[in-house]
Amino acid sequence: MTQYIAAIDLGTSHITGVVGKKNSDGTFLISAAETMPTPGCIVRGNITNLGVTADSIVKITDKLEAHLGDGFTINSYYVGAGGQSLQTVDYTVSKEIAADATVTQQDIDDLEELCRLYKIQKKNFQLIDAIKTVYYADGNKVSNPIDVSCLKLEARYKLVIGDERILPNIGKTFKDRASKEVAGVLITPLTLADAMMSDDEKKLGCALVSFGAGVTTVTVYKENVLLGISVIPFGGNDITNDISAVEQLTDTVSEKLKTQNGSVLNPDIENAQPITVEMEGATPEISPNDLNAIIEGRAREIIHNVRAGIAAMIDPKALSSGIIITGGGAELENIAQLVKEICGAKTRLSAIRSNYFNTGDDTRLGNLVYMPAISIMLKGTENCVVAPVVVEEKPVVAIEPQTSSEVVISPHFDKKDTPKQPKWTEKKSKKEKKKPWWGMKDLFADVLDEEKEGDNEQKY
């Protein structure tokens, strides 16, 4: 059966959806992709207006289904979670192993269950995901503990926590408002890192910096282990707002100036020609040097925070594979050069690794707007799309008439001698049994149950 994986990235500036056809060898072919500006309903990773967000999801779905063709229906989505509230917490759990036994998969599962019982100390936060980092058997680091003989097995996790509204609001928006199931909630900074970093880069040390509209997210790996996620509450919108405030322009005009004429490094050009701005009722002129000075000031502030975020986990110079930059802000002129200057590590623009796809000529693979949704799609395992049922027509067998002029009447003629007409049958498609998304569906169900119980208690 052909699998189609659907994914949505809920960004501060754009809502983006993709559908990919998963091939038998595990590679993908992008079947449909759409993006639209976020109408102010998502702020730094949090859905603030469920109804408006749901309307956007319905519009994106209609466009995706139109690309797929008649009869295709998207029933569920993998959804990305990110934003300002994301944090990582170190947590260690251990288990005693019998002297005459070795570590089994059940032992690993028990440790994971213990990990998910962790009580978050921070108010209004909840567990989003638990990332296994490294195991120790009797104090010795092991990559795969299965069948290892030891008396004590220890697992060190990175817990990803976030605002307690993230999961409930995703569920209410998709299921209750947009009538779409949630196949899974995935941490977008981690899906992006997996899509863009090779195992060798993770081993040697690599940081992914995503310059979003609302926040800038830093994800760091070393020795194939996640060192942590750091979220800086500044992004591309802050640069746009600075331009608007200083030059007395609308945000739309300022965004256009930033992306089309601006640079994060101010070359201080002598006798630079002013930029004429087309506005209703006025055509002000702005000096390129003034524009770049505004952009560079905020960009330097953001990147210095990026360096501090990396330094809290590891010396930036120890990142042998350097820094990968992505997100809309990564398109600003000279930003890779400025990141290298401030962080002291080689820097390159992001690209999703080609081994995930069986075609290299799809321009959407290099489009920074689509990359988060594509990276989420790559993690999908459950079919999200109902395809039209194609009934194969059976050929009608023609009965040749007798060519002899002599009519022969058989004395043994019976109804059973009459040629049988072909029976037309139609195969009924079986509805797939949905699998719960890893560790998330039960947790999300508990959250909804608690809310419903609370509502019931308030009724008199």
Are residues 16 and 373 in contact, defined by beta-carbon separation less than 8 angstroms? Answer: yes
pLDDT digits (tens, 9 = 90+) for 192-238: 999 999 999 999 999 999 999 999 999 999 999 999 999 999 999 99
Q: Alpha helix (H) ranges present in 265-333? A: 288-311
* CA–CA distance, 177 with 51 (Å, rounded to integer): 7
pLDDT the model gives residue 389: 77
In percent, how much of the chain has pLDDT > 70? Answer: 84
Q: Is 158 helix (H, G, I), strand (E, B) or coil?
A: strand
What band does 400 get if pLDDT is binned at 50, 70 and 90?
Answer: low
* CA–CA distance, 292 with 298 (Å, rounded to integer): 10
- The yes-or-no verdict on residue 403 having pLDDT over 60 is no
pLDDT digits (tens, 9 = 90+) for 252-296: 999 999 999 999 998 777 778 899 888 777 778 899 999 999 999
pLDDT digits (tens, 9 = 90+) for 76-129: 999 999 999 999 999 999 999 999 999 999 999 999 999 888 888 888 999 999
Tell me the one-letter amino acid at 172: K
pLDDT the model gives residue 401: 57
Between 452 and 96, name the one with better pLDDT.
96
**Cα→Cα distances 96→99, 166, 293, Å:** 9, 35, 60
pLDDT the model gives residue 259: 94
- The yes-or-no verdict on residue 37 having pLDDT over 50 is yes
Give the residue among 1, 27, 16 at the shortest CA–CA distance from 358: 27
pLDDT the model gives residue 397: 64
Q: pTM above 0.85? A: no
In percent, how much of the chain has pLDDT > 90? Answer: 70
